[in-house]
Amino acid sequence: MSTTDKDWVGDPRNASPDGEFVRDTTYIDDRITADAPAGQPTAQEDGTFHWPVEAGRYRLIAARACPWAHRAVIVRRLMGLEDVISLGLAGPTHDVRSWTFDLDPGGVDPVLDIPRLQEAYFNRFPDYPRGITVPAMVEESSKKVVTNDFPSLVRDMIIEWTDHHRPGAPNLYPAEHAEEMEEINKYLFTEINNGVYRCGFAGTQEAYEAAYERLWNALDWAEERLSARRYLVGDHVTETDIRLFTTLVRFDAVYHGHFKASRNKITEMPNLWGYLRELFQLPGFGDTTDFTEIKQHYYIVHKEVNPTQIVPVGPDLSGLATPHGREAFGGQPFADGTTLPGPLPEGEGLKNPEPFQK
């Protein structure tokens, strides 16, 4: 299958015989690592390549609409990598070929000088057969994609880029919680992060109802867990919280109606709602969340789900700026000695902020 045959560039998908949504999770699994020698990427025994950590060499291509890319944008900001890894932002909508840079002057990424992310994939793999996905790390000089494996891409920004982290950057992957984080991360992916898609793209009533039950079992688990603790793991924000945040912040605006995940809104679940408000109010979270682009992506691109492509005006999201009360559980967002990120770099502010975000 050629890339142009893919009918869902941002969310690669397949359908099982019973109508269940099955995500294509095969990615370019090269990595950027601290121990890779300078220069050209080094071949590994498993057939992948390790690329060297090098300031100014790579450009993170993301889209504010995409929850998987949003994770990478948040981590880049929290780690203070804005001057080390440049950021390119694709527009919220795309066609069957690729994410496009229609937000930039002339519809061309100003650093890579390409109109479509597809070109960076084809520069390295001329016959690349899979979906053109974000986030993707691209080598600026060659304009070739390095990796689009979003879990390791994000993790490596936390673990492998430490020499370039800002002073006071948080520890988002504490070793003492690594085992528990991995267990919860896996559960979040299968049941919540991908669970909303399993509801939205179900091909039969039976598949939808099964997906709906699984999703709400998991959201009830998260609501219960957060009734007794401030964060999912430990006493501070971790990568695990970022993984849940990017789904929760899209839930009421998109997944509740568009994906028919409609038992409750997050605003109706007191612990998840307080937790979401706290995270949203932290630098790196709310200031990287563009609800206009999120809604445009889902409601315009998913024509099978929303044939009219009408984008809803609501919901009212101003409650995200209200007090959250999560201090009652103890702990704090980041450990002592950690500092919050500074102002957003010039040119990286939201293009479509909600009134309460201004």
Query: So which residues are the catalytic ones?
Result: 66, 197
Supply the DSSP string of 67-79, one letter for each residue: HHHHHHHHHHHHH
Annotated binding site for glutathione: 99
State how far the Cα of 328 lies from the Cα of 310, in Å rounded to an integer: 41
Radius of gyration of the chain (CA): 20
Structure tokens at 39: 């220069």
* Cβ partners under 8 Å of residue 66, min gap 6: 10, 134, 135, 297
- The neighbouring-strand residues paired with 32 are 51
Alpha carbon 216 to chain centroid distance?
Answer: 21
HEC string for 77-131: HHHCCCCCCEEEEECCCECCCCEECCCCHHHCCCCCCCCECHHHHHHHCCCCCCC
Torsional sign, CA 71, 76, 77, 83: negative
Instruction: Please name the amino acid found at residue 285.
Output: F
